[in-house]
């Protein structure tokens, strides 16, 4: 069994470096192109199903891939991005201007990492049971995936930014999940 984790394609807020959180932002033109490139890169015969966050940017990415691969998209709200609370829609500079240099230490309603990891683990354990022996794609979000990877793949470098439409693959070997690819984006270099 393999699980491929995909971060959604680019949005205008990604381009502007705005915190998206659970705001429902759509892919921009570049994000749609990125999703198309990833869809063309994936092996049609390798993947059985896609499970996506309900937020538009993830769902649009998943729909594009599903159409190319000819597979079904299932929606699971547990895959949504970590809520950004009061910082959603703001840039780093705007946060510093509004709350100061130490804004991260303030209670701004940002969803706690342990809550994100708990819902990620619950969802992924359920997918593992429901799709046993199949290869599935999960389309989600940067902070959600980074939090989950820090817990599930602790030996990786988690300070590195996850790229839009990056693919991280884990494979079940005996009873363990082994990382096969991390933050992979060769499809973005294709014309």
| Number of domains, the chain | 1
Distance CA 76, CA 125 (A): 13
Give the pLDDT confidence score for residue 44 in this predicted structure. 82
The answer to the question of residue 103 being in a domain is: no
Within 8 A by CB and 6+ apart from 105, the residues are none
The answer to the question of residue 72 being in a domain is: yes
Widest distance between CA atoms in the chain: 51
For the record, the structure tokens of 153 come out as 């793949």
Rounded-to-10 torsion of CA 116, 119, 125, 128: -80
The answer to the question of residue 90 being in a domain is: no
Give the pLDDT confidence score for residue 191 in this predicted structure. 59
The answer to the question of residue 117 being in a domain is: yes
| pTM value surpassing 0.85 | yes
Can you list the residues of the chain whose pLDDT is less than 50? Answer: none
For the record, the structure tokens of 159 come out as 């300070």
Structural domain boundaries enclosing 6 = 2-81+111-189
The answer to the question of residue 87 being in a domain is: no
Measured from the Cβ of residue 133, the count of other Cβ atoms closer than 10 Å reads: 8
Task: Give the CATH number, domain containing residue 70.
Answer: 3.40.50.1240
User: Which residues is 49 bridged to in the sheet?
Assistant: 72, 136
The answer to the question of residue 102 being in a domain is: no
Catalytic sites, residue numbers: 8, 81
């Amino acid at each position: 069994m393999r699980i491929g984790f995909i971060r959604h394609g680019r949005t205008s807020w990604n381009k502007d470096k705005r915190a998206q959180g659970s705001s429902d932002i759509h892919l921009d033109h570049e994000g749609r192109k990125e999703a198309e490139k990833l869809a063309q890169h994936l092996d049609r015969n390798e993947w059985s199903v896609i499970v996506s966050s309900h937020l538009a940017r993830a769902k649009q990415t998943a729909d594009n891939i599903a159409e190319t691969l000819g597979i079904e998209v299932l929606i699971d709200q547990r895959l949504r991005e970590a809520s950004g609370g009061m910082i959603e829609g703001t840039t780093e500079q705007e946060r510093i201007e509004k709350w100061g240099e130490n804004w991260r230490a303030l209670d701004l309603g940002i969803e706690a990492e342990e809550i994100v990891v708990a819902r990620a683990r619950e969802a992924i354990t359920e997918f593992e049971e429901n799709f046993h022996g199949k290869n599935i794609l999960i389309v989600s979000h940067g902070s959600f995936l980074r939090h989950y990877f820090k817990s599930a793949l602790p030996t990786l470098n988690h300070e590195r930014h996850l790229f839009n439409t990056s693919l991280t693959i884990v494979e079940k070997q005996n009873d363990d999940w082994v990382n096969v690819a991390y933050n992979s984006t060769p499809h973005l270099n294709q014309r």
